[in-house]
Amino acid sequence: MSTATFAPRGATGLHGPKDHTMYTLTFTHPDCTDVRQVGGKAASLAEMTAEGLPVAPGFAVTAAAYRRYRQESGLKDFTSSILDKLTPESGQAAFDEAERVITERMESVGMPAEIAEPIRAAYRQLCADTGVEDIAVAVRSSATAEDSVDASFAGEFETWVDVVGEDAVVEYVQKCYVSVYSGRVLSYLAEKGIDPHDIEMAVVVQKTVRARAAGVMFTLSPTTGDRSRIVLEASWGLGLSVVGGEVTPDRYMLEKITLDIVVREAGHKHIEYRRGDAPQDVPEDRRDVLCLSDEEVIALARYGKNLEKVHGGAPQDIEFAIDEELPEGQNLILLQRRPETVWSHADRKPKFDAAAGMMSWITGSISGGAADLGGPGHSH
Amino acid sequence: MSSTENTPQRFPFLSEAEVPAGGEGWESMYPYYLVPSEETKEHEEKLLWFADTMHWSRGAHPFDSIGAEAVYYGVGTFSTRIFALPVSLGMDVRVVNGYVYIAPQGITDPARIQERAEVFQKRAGYYYANWDELYGQWKTKMEQAIVTMDSITFTPLGAYDPDSVVDEATGRSVSMDILENYHRLIDEFFAVWQYHFEFLNLGYGGYITFFQFCKQAFPLIADQSISRMVAGVDVLAFRPDDELRKLAQLAVELDLVQTLRDGGAGTEGALKAKALRTELESTENGRTWLAAFDAARDPWFNYFTEYGFTHDQETWNTDLSIPLGSISRYADKIAAGEDISRPIERLREERDEIVGEYRALLTTEEAQQFDALLNLARTVFPYIEEHNIYVEHWSHNVFWKKTRELAELLVEAGLLEQADDFYYLNRFEVDMALTDVVQSWAIGVDIRGKQRWRAEIERRKPIVAALQSASAPPAYGIPPEQITDPFAVMNYGVTTERIQEWLGADQDEKGLAGIPGSLGVVEGPVRVLRSEKDLPLLQPGEILVAPITAPSWAAAFSVASGVITDIGGMMCHAAIVCREYGIPAVVGTGYATARLTTGQRVRIDGKTGSVVYLDGGPDTETGRADLVDAADAPAQG
């Protein structure tokens, strides 16, 4: 068993600051794109940042920090002694009991200063960088596993939002660590045949988005499948009202090539989600006015276009927000992206039958809608 | 016109056209087959007739109706008989209240369409396969036709036939040459219009095929984006304007800006131009500049203010104040530090970049077709862009020059009081009058119809004036459910939607709808102009309203903040040139010159094709227009 390779006890002059920086990495740090160091979630945020795509600012608490944590007070040996007794057939009650015992022990141990300090420093730096005092952050897992880098733990771990202050951040990072041993996770891992000790719990600490407006962007026209268009729908507050169809959002369409806005339609936005829990009424005078400026629409579309390029030209479905706390120029946030699926998978045929030949195409074209001489022509 | 809810909406029939006061009796001035008649009434009432104000922006003088014959004879032969377009015959043509109206004729019988398609594929296929070579031959053919026409002379008759008739024992009077040469002139003119359509419809066909490919691959793509991928950046069409820019640059270098400003532009153009020449000749720099100016004049200033379909249009050469005014405006801009050169390389790079981005959005299979069709479109497009210079400008310039020489011969012979009177007779009447003149001369008697023709011309003068003071309604007759003729759509902007808008336009008090010609939104007072002669009236920032703007108006685009026209589609020259110069344009509005009054404020949107009235009537103040949405406008070329 190796000892404290990464984190010598006490910050010696030789190792201290250098090793500390490895416990946290901002999304802008080049190493932050390394899944092994920071987990999939943080790595993808760092990748987007590296590609010039704006995500809510924040930092990762690295897998190294977690490994260092488990060295503390013989935690690793302790959890092994509990977990070794469990098998997939142990039943949920046994997993829950394991959770109780481990949680109790971990909470009594607390966060070693060697890890807590860099987290506090990173949080303070985030406040300074964004110009927001006591910035509210979301803390969520970015778990990875040694032997299965690509293993997805989506939805297995909790996310805490609106965490405020350095003490709280440290506390919730530890909660993240503890959550590896929740009964639910343990049974899931057992089912998947993953040793909980292989889990490396890196953590993402990221500004909670305070959306002035938010919405969804497609890098094609969702109604016609036209790939030369970008379409955005947006409403006041968080994107929930748009995604949930609770308002008639504003609609914007741009030419993807030139980024000219060709459609700008104000919707009717009578409610908004300010904090993600319950909707509130939008004052009359804001309901029917556009919630995005032309500059914002164009900047978002430019991001969409880049994102599509980065993903090999596959049309993208992107959630975005305009953060009201961040200064202009830094306030556009991309929250999520996934490949568009409806049109991207449709079988696309060119206008003309390749076998019929050019003269047949021309003949069909000059005959307008009156004759179908250009071969089989088009469908849909 | 009474209409109930059950009758489909229609425009008045030709027979219901209201004659403007003073225009009564106009029918007698034109060849009978150009005039609606009882015999053809049933046929006429089946068609939709739309005004070809693109080529005849004013009521036509009787002689000028020859253009309507030549053009639609040319369209007809190539569409109906030579290339056999599968679903279209020629366009039928009529003169109504002096204005030219045309009606596309479709074919619906599937067997006939199939038969024609076979002929078309064989014949058109030959042209597409050999395009560059045949187009090269076409240019030579056109240049020869122009030389031939220019070589035609009308020698006044003396007291006796010349000695050569005896010396060479020709055995025939030279007076026969006058009639023969008149016929040759007419025939050459008709031939030039045959040549015009030798390539035009095929050119459109090639372009439309690429266009339709793009419309399927990108259902929402703007028409302008398609034409931007195809349009040439260094074509003949821009050459006359480029010459003006070069001369402006030279004027700046030679420190002649002030001289040109004081002496060049203005309403008494000819006089001032003469004075300016004298002044320029007195200095070394002036002589250097004049040499460059004179070198540019032939052929580049043989350029009509519009399209050269009317005898009384000036060319830049016949009214030098037009190019001089433009040069002076350009020179002022250069002096003010503006770069007015057209950056060919950059424009080409931008075009290729746009093409590359669209192409990247296609599947491999689509991209192959895209490449083939873009190549086709680019092969044929130079003809679409360049042919006007050869036909409408250079050939017409010579044609009208020759008719004027003939008119002067008729003045000298005593038939006409003045040369302008010539154009109040149609081409057959001229033939008859000329025959009278020649035969009377030969017999040795007075012209037998001198009083007759002079009286007729005097009768016609107020009629033509009345016709010209009225605007042309955009259409007559019954609209078809769908306008399918791609050429009506591409060149004239006559689409199903436009027809509906024309029908509803009487009710619309908020504005006009047209075709998006060139991107951008602009607000400002309008200036309604019917002729380029009035261009000096155009004030900076005003929105130019005209029946149609020809490429030669280009210099005005440096002054105008936007352009609105009555007729024209996205491929019309006004749209092409406006796009090139980055001026918002709405074309094909049908009624702009009739509905708008100089000084009235409007907002035009070159993306949606809308013209919105900002106030009820003319505004006394003609301030500078505000560029409402600069981000919309493409970079200035």
What's the whole-number average pLDDT of chain B? Answer: 87
Q: Could A366 and B201 be called an inter-chain contact, meaning their C-beta atoms sit closer than 8 Å? A: yes
pLDDT at B268: 54
How many Cβ pairs closer than 8 A exist between chain A and B? 131
Nearest to A311 by CA among A219, A230, A242: A219
User: What distance lies between CA B343 and its chain's CA centroid?
Assistant: 27
The band of B278, judged by pLDDT with boundaries at 50, 70 and 90, is confident
- Picking from B354, B361, B607, the nearest residue to A262 by CB comes out as B607
More confident residue, B580 or B596: B596
The band of B637, judged by pLDDT with boundaries at 50, 70 and 90, is very low
Nearest to B420 by CA among B438, B432, B408: B408
User: Taking the domain B510-632, which CATH number applies?
Assistant: 3.50.30.10
pLDDT at A149: 43
Q: Residues B53, B563, B631, B326: is their CA dihedral positive or negative?
A: positive
pLDDT at A290: 96
Give dist(CA B573, CA B577) in Å, integer: 6
Q: Could B220 and A257 be called an inter-chain contact, meaning their C-beta atoms sit closer than 8 Å? A: no
**By percentage, how much of chain B surpasses pLDDT 70?**
89
B-chain CB neighbours of A227 within 8 Å are 218, 361
Which residues have a Cβ under 8 Å from the Cβ of A98 and sit 6 or more positions away? Answer: A82, A83, A86, A181, A183, A186
Give dist(CA B147, CA B151) in Å, integer: 6
The band of B270, judged by pLDDT with boundaries at 50, 70 and 90, is low
Nearest to B617 by CA among B633, B601, B634: B601
pLDDT at B492: 82
Give yes or no for A85 touching B (CB within 8 A): no
pLDDT at A146: 59
Judged by DSSP in three states, B89 sits in strand
- Picking from A350, A361, A369, the nearest residue to B366 by CB comes out as A350
For residue B203, the distance in angstroms to the closest alpha carbon of chain A comes to 11
- Picking from A351, A363, A373, the nearest residue to B216 by CB comes out as A351
Give dist(CA A306, CA A292) in Å, integer: 20
Burial of B125-149, coded b for 16+ CB within 10 Å and e otherwise, reads: bebbeebeebbeebeebbeebbeeb
Question: In which element (H, E) is residue B496 found?
Answer: helix B496-504
A-chain CB neighbours of B107 within 8 Å are 370
Q: Could B216 and A226 be called an inter-chain contact, meaning their C-beta atoms sit closer than 8 Å? A: no
pLDDT at B585: 87
- For residue B415, pLDDT over 70 is answered with yes
Of A374-378, B118-122, B133-137, B206-210, least confident by mean pLDDT is: A374-378
Give dist(CA B498, CA B505) in Å, integer: 10
The DSSP annotation for A280-343 comes to EEPPHHHHTS-SS-HHHHHHHHHHHHHHHHHTTT--EEEEEEEESSSPTTS-EEEEEEEE--TT
Interfacial B residues in 359-378 facing A (CB < 8 Å): 360-361, 363, 365-366, 368-370, 372-373, 376
Residue A141 · residue A47 · CB < 8 Å: no
The band of A87, judged by pLDDT with boundaries at 50, 70 and 90, is confident
B-chain CB neighbours of A352 within 8 Å are 213, 369
In sequence order, the β-bridge partners of residue B477 are B48
Q: pLDDT of B82-117, one tens digit each?
A: 999 999 899 999 999 999 999 999 898 999 999 999
Q: Could A363 and B86 be called an inter-chain contact, meaning their C-beta atoms sit closer than 8 Å? A: yes
pLDDT average, residue stretch B126-155: 96
Nearest-Cα residue of chain A relative to residue B364 = A350
Q: Could A362 and B205 be called an inter-chain contact, meaning their C-beta atoms sit closer than 8 Å? A: yes
pLDDT at A370: 43
Question: In which element (H, E) is residue B209 found?
Answer: helix B175-217
The DSSP annotation for B347-403 comes to HHHHHHHHHHHHHHTS-HHHHHHHHHHHHHHHHHHHHHHHHHIIIIIIIHHHHHHHH
Of B133-142, B306-315, B340-349, B608-617, least confident by mean pLDDT is: B608-617
- For residue B512, pLDDT over 90 is answered with no
pLDDT at B550: 63
pLDDT at A378: 35
Nearest-Cα residue of chain A relative to residue B204 = A366
- For residue B181, pLDDT over 90 is answered with yes
Give yes or no for A367 touching B (CB within 8 A): yes
Give yes or no for B482 touching A (CB within 8 A): yes
- For residue B618, pLDDT over 60 is answered with no
The band of A14, judged by pLDDT with boundaries at 50, 70 and 90, is very low
Of A335-349, B208-222, B279-293, B567-581, least confident by mean pLDDT is: B567-581
Residue from A228, A254, A349, A379 to probe the interface with B (highest B Cβ count within 10 Å) = A228
Count the neighbouring beta carbons within 10 Å of the beta carbon of residue A309: 15
Q: pLDDT of B14-64, one tens digit each?
A: 999 999 999 999 999 999 999 999 999 999 999 999 999 888 888 999 999
The band of A347, judged by pLDDT with boundaries at 50, 70 and 90, is confident
A-chain CB neighbours of B607 within 8 Å are 260, 262
A-chain CB neighbours of B208 within 8 Å are 365-366
The domain spans of chain A are: 16-207, 211-339
Q: Of the spans A57-66, A186-195, B294-303, B584-593, which averages the highest pLDDT?
A: A57-66
Report the alpha-carbon angle A83-A86-A90, nearest 5: 150
Which residues have a Cβ under 8 Å from the Cβ of A269 and sit 6 or more positions away? Answer: A235, A236, A241, A247, A248, A249, A250, A282, A286, A287, A288, A291
The domain spans of chain B are: 141-232+371-442, 236-341, 510-632
What's domain A211-339's superfamily in CATH?
ATP-grasp fold, B domain (3.30.470.20)
Nearest-Cα residue of chain A relative to residue B84 = A363
- Check: complex ipTM more than 0.85: no
pLDDT at A379: 33
Task: Record the pTM.
Answer: 0.77
Give yes or no for B630 touching A (CB within 8 A): no
Give yes or no for B212 touching A (CB within 8 A): yes
pLDDT at B65: 97
- For residue A10, pLDDT over 60 is answered with no
The DSSP annotation for B543-593 comes to EEEES---GGGGGGGGT-SEEEESS--TTSHHHHHHHHHT--EEE--SSHH
B-chain CB neighbours of A348 within 8 Å are 363, 366
The owner of tokens 């009768």 is B459
Q: Could A358 and B372 be called an inter-chain contact, meaning their C-beta atoms sit closer than 8 Å? A: yes
Q: Could B220 and A352 be called an inter-chain contact, meaning their C-beta atoms sit closer than 8 Å? A: no
- For residue B630, pLDDT over 50 is answered with no
B-chain CB neighbours of A354 within 8 Å are 365, 368-369
pLDDT at B508: 62
pLDDT at B635: 35
**CA torsion, points B343, B348, B350, B355, in degrees to nearest 10?**
170
- For residue A19, pLDDT over 60 is answered with no
B-chain CB neighbours of A375 within 8 Å are none
- For residue A13, pLDDT over 60 is answered with no
Give yes or no for A294 touching B (CB within 8 A): yes
Residue from B85, B202, B209, B610 to probe the interface with A (highest A Cβ count within 10 Å) = B209
**By percentage, how much of chain B surpasses pLDDT 90?**
56
- For residue A1, pLDDT over 90 is answered with no
What's domain A16-207's superfamily in CATH?
ATP-grasp fold, A domain (3.30.1490.20)
Give yes or no for B117 touching A (CB within 8 A): yes
